[in-house]
A = this chain, B = another copy of it.
Amino acid sequence: MNAAVIGASGYSGEELVRLLSRHPDVTLAAVTSRSLVGQALANVMPGLRHLVGDLKFTNSDPAELAQNDDLDVFFLALPHGVATEFAKPLHAAGKTVIDLSADFRLNSATRYAEYYGHPHPAPELLAAAPYVLPELADDSWKSANLIACPGCYPTSIQLPLVPLLKAGLISTEGIVINSYSGVSGAGRKVAEDFIYCERNESMKGYGMPKHRHLSEIEEQLEKAAFTDVIVQFNPHLAPMSRGISTTIVVKAKSSLEEIYIAWNKAYADKPFVSVLKSGTFPDTRMVTQTNRADMAAVYDPRTGNFVINSVIDNITKGASGQAVQIMNLKFGFDETAGLL
């Protein structure tokens, strides 16, 4: 099977190249980038020199790609909006498309317009594009050919919360989520605010109170809870390259033991999720460069809250690793193929 990475100039694209070029079951056959056409991957991504052979960036015309019989699965590592330009013709041509952008994450075109400031570019495709967080989705998505990958923050939030909401073990009201992301969360963005000396030794919030990921977070939590869920989501930047640390405060409607039972049930056979003992605190460093998520919780009898911590690598489990995991499951490869 041949895979293509569309728009590989950013950190997620580079990580896709790393993962797919090591994958036992697929061949990385094409990597596209408008700005890098003709250049050797080995030069643009020197850290992957041992993996990419003499592969070159190619032109990225969507129609042409759609007609290319050599390519089976397409990973879109593109800005939101641009992804749709590729997703439409590829999907029409019957290709498998795994989209890392936000374009197909929301079910609701109205919500999309509210958060992204313009109408959805292809609302007719929303129903065809399941949102797949592999550990949480049921298997029905596997027949779809256009799949929306979750965002990084939403992944770190849904993994601990969805099993608890489904089981009714926590309140849907008053949820407070603080997330701290490594700077790669901003992508390979060249702006004064992201140069080394501005972000080094610095911690700050941003995008409060209505970061775009909120739309995805709430839509997914609502699906799990079968009711409206309005959360306070506070994203921050931390002085490190990769990793997300999320801390969630929720009103308990059960015992700590019960939420651990729910987690252990949900994740017992999931190779990428570790449920840590209460009193242990997940550390981003322990999941960096892996597709893993670690989570743990404590109960505070003084407040009646659970305090839940989760960590992921924003680029791996939060983006490219999860996309490869989705491919593995869709095509019946081992779930962990290329991800250990």
* Chain A contacts to B: CB under 8 angstroms: 11, 22, 46-47, 49-51, 174, 176, 178, 180, 182-184, 188-192, 194-206, 208-210, 230-232, 234, 236, 238-243, 245, 247, 249, 271-272, 274, 276, 281-292, 294, 298-300, 302-303, 305, 307, 309, 311, 336, 340
Q: Which 5 A-B pairs have the closest CB atoms?
A: A209-B300, A202-B285, A203-B245, A204-B283, A178-B178
Q: Are A238 and B180 in contact (CB under 8 A)?
A: yes
Q: Are A190 and B188 in contact (CB under 8 A)?
A: no
Q: Are B201 and A281 in contact (CB under 8 A)?
A: no
7 additional contacts, CB 8 Å, given A182-B197, A209-B303? A195-B195, A195-B196, A196-B239, A203-B238, A204-B311, A208-B309, A232-B300
Q: Are B197 and A283 in contact (CB under 8 A)?
A: no
The contact of A203 among B195, B206, B276, B283, by CB within 8 Å, is: B283
Q: Are B210 and A300 in contact (CB under 8 A)?
A: yes
- Closest beta carbon of chain B to A289's beta carbon, Å: 7
When C-beta atoms are compared, the residue in chain B nearest to A283 turns out to be B204
Interface centre among A180, A190, A204, A305 (most CB of B within 10 A): A204
Q: CA A188 – CA B195 in complex, angstroms?
A: 8
List residues of chain B with CB within 8 A of the CB of A284: 201-204
Q: List 9 A-B contacts (CB under 8 A).
A: A180-B203, A183-B195, A183-B196, A194-B196, A203-B285, A204-B283, A208-B309, A210-B302, A234-B307
The contact of A236 among B50, B180, B197, B340, by CB within 8 Å, is: B180
Q: CA A289 – CA B300 in complex, angstroms?
A: 35
Q: CA A289 – CA B289 in complex, angstroms?
A: 10
Q: CA A205 – CA B196 in complex, angstroms?
A: 17
Q: Are A209 and B299 in contact (CB under 8 A)?
A: yes
- Closest beta carbon of chain B to A273's beta carbon, Å: 10
When C-beta atoms are compared, the residue in chain B nearest to A22 turns out to be B340
Q: CA A340 – CA B285 in complex, angstroms?
A: 21
Do A206 and B281 form a contact, CB below 8 Å, given A236-B247, A240-B201, A241-B197?
yes
